[in-house]
């Protein structure tokens, strides 16, 4: 099948075809019917919700010779003229482009000219929040005293960035995210129209991928139509989206909730090897856990989820096995990790830590279970031999604030740099450290008295701090251990023995 560019072909040409924004359409068409057109409009909302389409329709409707119920007829000479790309009377300015300032200056010069065919000249300024201050000022002057024949439609995805002086002069419309049912019927309508067969589950997956944006959903649909051979199936859509096979996700969830650490690591490995992106995987597992919660809590999950029968059955069965609190905790962790992944140095390890965090949600010794993976990363034996975690006594609440797993990951990287630094003192001081965590933007290292002395008196804590910052963008904080396992003197003597009497003097 030839490439269709569905987004272009099915761009709405009248308000009737604009989906999901009935509240806006009603007001706009009424303004046309009762001839109460304003001079400045602000259309705001997420990308792909129809702002520019609505602006173009509105621009034709207010000029149309025979408007039908507030819609442009799209037949008269004016409509036909205005629909042309280079129409003089509808000027589209992209404020995000480099020549935004020039375009506004040009606008000020030409705004006095009468429209060439219709009653109004319409300026549509896209991404208006991107205008520079000087461009805003120029625009403001025009908005203050607009000629009678001019209408401005300002479109933006980030209304909070707009100056109040502009906002106060515009009639504002907030475009909503489009509901999945509306996206669903739009998609099926288009597929019927182009003559492609489909399953209900496939179309639902396309609509869900749009996440409220018509443009995004149509772009997925475009790729699906080009990809599918014959009937469009659920699995075709997953493949287009680069999403993970639901059976694999099912297995991963099972491994996580049965606390099968080895299973988790093996599955992540096999999914990563199949070329799936870790961030898509994180999203997929979050959606899956949300679906589990829907199965547990909702009256008619089947209708809400629209999944293929076999996948649905497995999901229901699985969701009944696990406690709601565990699922909520998991959802929370995976939602957060999605954001963290954007900045992660090693996304895969970050994701694995998240999985293990969930797997060990009611145990304190999470860290111990990370050792297997850490050993894998640190192939050259950078980690000290004894990696037994010594946890101070604390309440569960405190454990939640301190991220030991993350601390461990950072430490593994830091230690590698310390070994490379050729500083014997630093490297000795860092030996056998096994209590570290991340807390409130700090990387906290719990040190014994001797390690503390060694790091601070030799100013190696500064070097270590730099390394920590370079590896993790966190600040180093040294905390002396509360442990009274051995005396300070003992520790110091051990160290002296280790690095030599000439390098460390006990006073």
Nearer to Zn ion, 55 or 178 (CB): 55
Nearer to Zn ion, 35 or 502 (CB): 35
Nearer to Zn ion, 25 or 237 (CB): 25
DSSP characters for 300-330? -HHHHH---HHHHHHHHHHHHHS-HHHHHHH
CB of 31 to Zn ion, least distance (A): 17
Nearer to Zn ion, 70 or 100 (CB): 70
Nearer to Zn ion, 81 or 245 (CB): 81
CB of 149 to Zn ion, least distance (A): 18
CB of 72 to Zn ion, least distance (A): 5
Nearer to Zn ion, 73 or 88 (CB): 73
Helix (H) or strand (E) run with residue 475 in it? strand 475-480
CB of 135 to Zn ion, least distance (A): 33
CB of 71 to Zn ion, least distance (A): 9
Interhelix angle 324-340/347-359, nearest 10 degrees? 170
Dist CA 296 CA 417 (whole Å)? 48
Helix (H) or strand (E) run with residue 449 in it? helix 449-457
Number of H helices, E strands in the chain: 25, 8
HSE-up (13 A, CA, CB side) for residue 282: 24
Distances, alpha carbon 153 to alpha carbons 10, 44, 127, 217, in Å: 22, 10, 11, 25
Nearer to Zn ion, 89 or 222 (CB): 89
Nearest 10 degrees: Cα torsion 309, 313, 316, 319 = -120
CB of 59 to Zn ion, least distance (A): 12
Question: What are the residues whose beta carbons fall under 8 Å from the beta carbon of 208, sequence distance 6 or more?
Answer: 180
CB of 67 to Zn ion, least distance (A): 7
CB of 73 to Zn ion, least distance (A): 4
Dist CA 387 CA 58 (whole Å)? 68
For 91, the token pair is 């000027």
- Residue 304 pairs with which residues in a beta bridge? none
Nearer to Zn ion, 13 or 316 (CB): 13
Q: Which residues form the interface with Zn ion (CB under 5 A)? A: 64, 72-73, 76, 79
Dist CA 131 CA 139 (whole Å)? 9
CB of 33 to Zn ion, least distance (A): 14
Nearer to Zn ion, 14 or 435 (CB): 14
CB of 74 to Zn ion, least distance (A): 6
Nearer to Zn ion, 74 or 279 (CB): 74
250 burial level (CB within 10 Å; 0-12, 13-18, 19+)? middle
Dist CA 35 CA 28 (whole Å)? 10
DSSP characters for 107-157? HHHHTTSPPSSSS-EEEEEETGGG--HHHHHHHHHHHHS--TTEEEEEEES
CB of 75 to Zn ion, least distance (A): 6
Nearer to Zn ion, 35 or 422 (CB): 35
Distances, alpha carbon 435 to alpha carbons 18, 408, 483, 500, in Å: 59, 8, 12, 25
Phi, psi of 49 (to 5 degrees): -100, 0
């Amino acid at each position: 099948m030839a490439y269709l560019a569905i987004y272009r072909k099915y761009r709405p040409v009248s308000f009737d075809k604009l989906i999901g924004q009935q509240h806006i359409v009603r007001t706009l068409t009424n303004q046309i019917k009762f001839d109460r057109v304003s001079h400045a409009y602000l259309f705001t909302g997420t990308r792909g919700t129809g702002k520019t389409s609505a602006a173009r329709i509105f621009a034709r409707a207010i000029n149309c010779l025979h408007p039908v119920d507030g819609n442009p007829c799209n037949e008269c000479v004016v409509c036909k003229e205005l629909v042309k790309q280079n129409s003089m009377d509808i000027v589209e300015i992209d404020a995000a482009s480099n020549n935004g300032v020039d375009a506004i200056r040009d606008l000020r010069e030409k705004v006095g000219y009468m429209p060439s065919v219709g009653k109004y000249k319409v300026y549509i300024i896209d991404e208006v929040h991107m205008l520079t201050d000087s461009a805003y000022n120029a625009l403001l002057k025009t908005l203050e005293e607009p000629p009678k024949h001019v209408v401005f439609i300002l479109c933006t995805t980030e209304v909070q960035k707009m100056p109040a002086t502009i906002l106060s002069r515009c009639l504002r419309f907030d475009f909503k995210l489009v509901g999945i049912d509306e996206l669903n019927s739009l998609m099926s309508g288009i597929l019927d129209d182009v003559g492609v067969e489909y399953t209900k589950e496939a179309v639902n997956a396309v609509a869900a991928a749009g996440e409220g944006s018509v443009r995004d959903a149509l772009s997925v649909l475009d790729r699906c139509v080009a990809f599918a051979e014959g009937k469009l199936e659920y699995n075709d859509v997953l493949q287009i989206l680069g999403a993970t096979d639901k059976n694999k996700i099912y297995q991963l969830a099972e491994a996580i909730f049965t606390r099968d650490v080895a299973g988790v690591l093996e599955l992540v490995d096999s999914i990563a090897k199949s070329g799936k992106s870790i961030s898509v995987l994180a999203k997929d597992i979050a959606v899956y856990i949300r679906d589990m919660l829907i199965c547990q809590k909702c009256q008619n999950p089947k209708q809400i989820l629209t999944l293929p029968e076999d996948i649905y059955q497995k999901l229901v069965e699985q969701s009944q096995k696990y406690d709601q609190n565990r699922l909520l905790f998991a959802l929370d962790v995976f939602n957060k990790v999605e954001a963290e992944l954007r900045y992660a140095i090693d996304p895969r390890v970050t994701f694995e830590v998240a999985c293990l965090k969930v797997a060990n949600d009611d145990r304190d010794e999470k860290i111990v279970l990370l050792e297997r993976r850490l050993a894998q990363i640190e192939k050259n034996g950078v980690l000290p031999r004894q990696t037994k975690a010594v946890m101070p006594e604390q309440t569960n609440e405190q454990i939640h604030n301190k991220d030991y797993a993350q601390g461990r990951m950072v430490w593994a990287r830091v230690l590698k740099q310390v070994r490379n630094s050729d500083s014997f003192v630093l490297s000795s001081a860092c030996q056998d450290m096994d209590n570290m965590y991340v807390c409130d933007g700090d990387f906290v290292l719990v040190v014994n008295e001797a390690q503390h002395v060694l790091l601070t008196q030799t100013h190696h804590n500064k070097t270590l701090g730099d390394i920590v910052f370079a590896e993790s963008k966190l600040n180093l904080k040294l905390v002396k251990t509360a442990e009274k396992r051995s005396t300070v003197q003992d520790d110091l003597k051990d160290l002296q023995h280790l690095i030599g009497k000439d390098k460390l003097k006990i006073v």
